[in-house]
Amino acid sequence: MTMTTGNRVGPAVVTVGDELLFGERENGNQRWLLERLHTLGHPAEVALSLPDDLGTIAHWVAILSQRGCFPILVSGGIGGTHDDCTRQAIAAGLGLRLKLHPECDAILAARYGDRYTNQRRRMAELPAGCTLLPNTKGAPGFRIGGIFAFPGFPEMLQPMAEEALATALPQAESAIVTIDATLPLQEGDIALEVEAFSHAHPTARVGIYPVAGGGPPAVTLRLRVPDHDVETRSAFESLVTRLRSS
């Protein structure tokens, strides 16, 4: 069983579905998970959208697990239809067997009654050794090591992920705050000074984003920094003041 090597690094968000890669559906689950992790003070290190393909999902599950990403949040593809292969792929990526989970089987049998077909029973075939993630609206998700697998339906994913993250993530030392400043300049006008600021303040993440809309050239300078880092926030304010007067 390959779970993780080395020290833990940041979270990974994996959303599964051909419809996402074909551009047929907006990836709202990815955006919600990324925003939630950021709000909790644990911004994601990796975000992937993957097709409904067992080999591709297994490949990336193995890479993220070996890299030490925690948690690895996977949404979509855990149902019982022909194109749902996330359960099988997670097992394959970790070198585990897929087996019937008795508790999940009982939950689904109670939910579906005489409509509990062999096809629906596939949803109870999970990676060996996993634990269930409760779902009051449908089939349970599951956790195996640092991987959390959720349904792709937002109304199920969101409350399940909230509960899982509340117990899985350590308390952040400080919230991440975002500070924006819009400047009537172009990227190239400020790139060197922003680069120097970034090197001087390694706890911060700073980006330069052109302002769209067809008006005069302008950029938004965005700082993302731990709330307790007052020194960097003050330095950013000084940088903005200097750039405005340049």
For residue 6, being part of any structural domain is answered with no
Residue 212 confidence (pLDDT): 84
Residues 186 and 132 in one domain: no
Query: What is the band of 100 on the pLDDT scale with cuts at 50, 70, 90?
Result: very high
Residue 227: which domain range? Answer: 176-244
Which H/E stretch holds residue 180?
strand 176-183
Confidence check: pLDDT of 7 > 90: no
Q: State whether 21 and 40 are in the same domain.
A: yes
Question: pTM of the predicted model, to two decimals?
Answer: 0.85
Please give the Cα distance from 54 to 134 (Å, whole number). Answer: 24
CATH number of 76's domain: 3.40.980.10
Smallest CA-to-CA distance from 90 within 146, 168, 166, 45 is with 146
Question: Is 180 in the same domain as 158?
Answer: no
* Closest of 38, 18, 15 to residue 28, by C-alpha: 15
Using one digit for the tens of pLDDT, what is the confidence trace for 22-69? 999 999 999 999 999 998 889 999 999 999 999 999 999 999 999 999
Q: How does pLDDT run across 189-202, given as a tens digit for each residue?
A: 999 999 999 999 98
pLDDT at 77 over 70: yes
pLDDT average, residue stretch 214-233: 91
Residue 4 located in a structural domain = no
Residues 161 and 183 grouped into a single domain: no
Closest to 68 (Cα-Cα) out of 129, 132, 10: 10
